[in-house]
Amino acid sequence: MKFVLRGHEPRWLAPVAVLVAVLVTLALTAVPIRLAGAAPLAAYERYLVTPLTSTSGLHEVLLTATPLLFTGIAVAIAFRAGYWNIGAEGQFLLGAIGTTWVGTTFTDLPAPVALPLGFLAGAAGGLLWAVVPAWLKRRAGIDEVVTTLLLNPVALLVVQGLLNGPWRNSSSGFTDSDRLGSGFDLPALIPDSRVHWGFGVAVVVIVVAGVVLARTATGVRIKAAGQAPRAAEFSGVDVGRLQWRCALVSGAIAGLGGASQVMGVQHQLTAGISDGYGYTGVIVATLGGLGAIGVVLVALLLGDISVGAQNVSLVLQVPAQLGAMFSALLLLAVLSAMSWRRYRLQWRPRSRSGGSR
């Protein structure tokens, strides 16, 4: 038995692979759900279906998916270029810091000025956090996986330091920042819901990124640089510079996510501003095949599961962590199944195994 490279990927293959992965995930999670004393089928229904059956549920899914859209597409852009940015979490946090800084410093700005400024500050914060690893990679060849990853807890410490020190809430004394100026509040995108304009900005960013990645010369160069850097270099692509740029864009977009979360949901900086969105972004990007459409679908799916998990834990009295377990198993299953897109299994008799390469 061995893996053989596929010549041509049949159209039905990717959806079938995902379906198989989902079935495998359902089968595997049935065990812990049973152990937690709930009926697997009822649990699945609440994980996946219940959030979509009510308007308010749908709104919650969109709201939960918003930060994942930002971090997902941010990671996807970097990964495509072969720059393994695992630091979207830190870049997200620095974006939140940037937005909070302008939001608590220029409190009187009117919304038309404040909102763009808030996003700009968020992007700048994320970009700033992405610059150091990208520069180290370009100048000294230092592995970005390590540097971007290690900067994540540093970013969280910066947030905590600020909240325990200079940015401690001036009226309550809690370790939350002051509220942003009212001009910095993102308006609701859908009336009477918590879905804010951050979702709209995310969709715009993803559409632009999707077009650039899939339809432009730059997109082809990014793909070439990521998949075969030597060949890209041979064809005149400056791989180092392209990766540097993608790293910065990636950081800036993750920072926009932080800005969106501060201005759209919390309206202040808190230590829990990111619920691991940067890390989940890696899952979103990878599961989404590093493409724009994939990122949207996976972000929505994970939003769905995450809203469903809250519901499940309330109604069925099982731990909320089962939702995270569900997502993690799904990642493993889908990634395994996706190898079938590039390889197919070939069974051959043992006697001929040494016969050819």
Partner 1 sequence: MTGGATDTVARPLLELTGITKRYGDLLANDDVSLRVAPGEVVAMLGENGAGKSTLMKVVYGLVRPDAGTVAVDGRPLDISSPKDAMAAGIGMVTQEFSLVETMTVTDNVALSGTGLGRVDRAETRRRVVEAMERVGVSLDPDRLVGSLSIGERQRVEIVKALFHDCRVVILDEPTAVLTPQDVRALFETVRRLRTAGLGILVVSHKLREVAEISDRVVVLRRGRLVGDRVTATVRDEELAALMMGGSTDEVAAATATPAAEPSELEAAVGMEVPTDQPAASATTTAASPTPGTTTGTTTGTTGEPVLRLTGLTVSRGGRDLLSGIDLAVRAGEIVGLAGVSGNGQTELVEVLSGTLPVTSGTLEVDGQDVTSADVGRRLAAGLGRLTEDRRGSVVPQMSVEQNLVLEDLPAYTRRGLLDRKAVRAHAEAMIERFDIRARPADAVATLSGGNMQKVLLARALARRPRVLVVAQPTRGLDIGAYRYVHQQLDELRTEGAGVLLVSEDLDELRALSDRVVVLFRGEVVGEMPVAEASPDRLGVLMAGGGSS
Asked if residue 10 binds partner 1 (CB under 8 A), the reply is no
How long, in residues, is the chain? 357
DSSP assignment of 7-40 equals SS--TTHHHHHHHHHHHHHHHHHHHHHHHTTS-H
* CB nearer to partner 1: pick between 207 and 328: 207
| Residue 5 binds partner 1 (CB under 8 A) | yes
| Residue 345 parent element (H or E) | strand 343-346
d(CA 167, CA 176): 7
Q: Which stretch binds partner 1 (CB under 8 A): 26-34, 106-114, 229-237, 254-262?
A: 229-237
Minimum CB distance to partner 1, residue 212 (Å): 9
The DSSP code sequence of 158-177 is HHHHHHHTTTS-TTT-SSSP
275 forms part of the interface with partner 1 (CB under 8 A): no
Residue 242 burial by Cβ neighbours in a 10 Å radius (0-12, 13-18, 19+): buried
Asked whether position 233 contacts partner 1 by CB under 8 A, the answer is yes
Binding to partner 1 by residue 140, rule CB under 8 A? Answer: no
At closest approach, how far in Å is the CB of 13 from partner 1? 14
Site for partner 1 in 153-212 (CB under 8 A): 211
- Residue 5: strand pairing partners: 343
Which residue of 37, 173, 217, 349 would you call a contact of partner 1, by CB under 8 A?
217
Q: Is residue 357 at the binding interface for partner 1, with CB under 8 A as the rule?
A: yes
Comparing CB distances to partner 1, the nearer of 77 and 124 is 77
Q: Which stretch binds partner 1 (CB under 8 A): 99-107, 148-156, 234-242, 289-297?
A: 234-242
Residue of 258, 273, 290 whose CA lies nearest to 91: 258
The C-alpha atoms of residue 174 and residue 199 are separated, in whole angstroms, by: 29
Separation CA 92–CA 76 (nearest Å): 15
Which residues inside 235-274 make contact with partner 1, applying CB under 8 A? 235-236, 238
Site membership for partner 1, residue 221 (CB under 8 A): yes
The region of 168-176, 193-201, 233-241, 293-301 touching partner 1 under the rule CB under 8 A is 233-241
* Cβ 125 vs Cβ 255: under 8 Å: yes
Footprint on this chain of partner 1 (rule: CB under 8 A):
5-8, 211, 215-217, 219-221, 223-224, 227-228, 230-236, 238, 342, 354-357
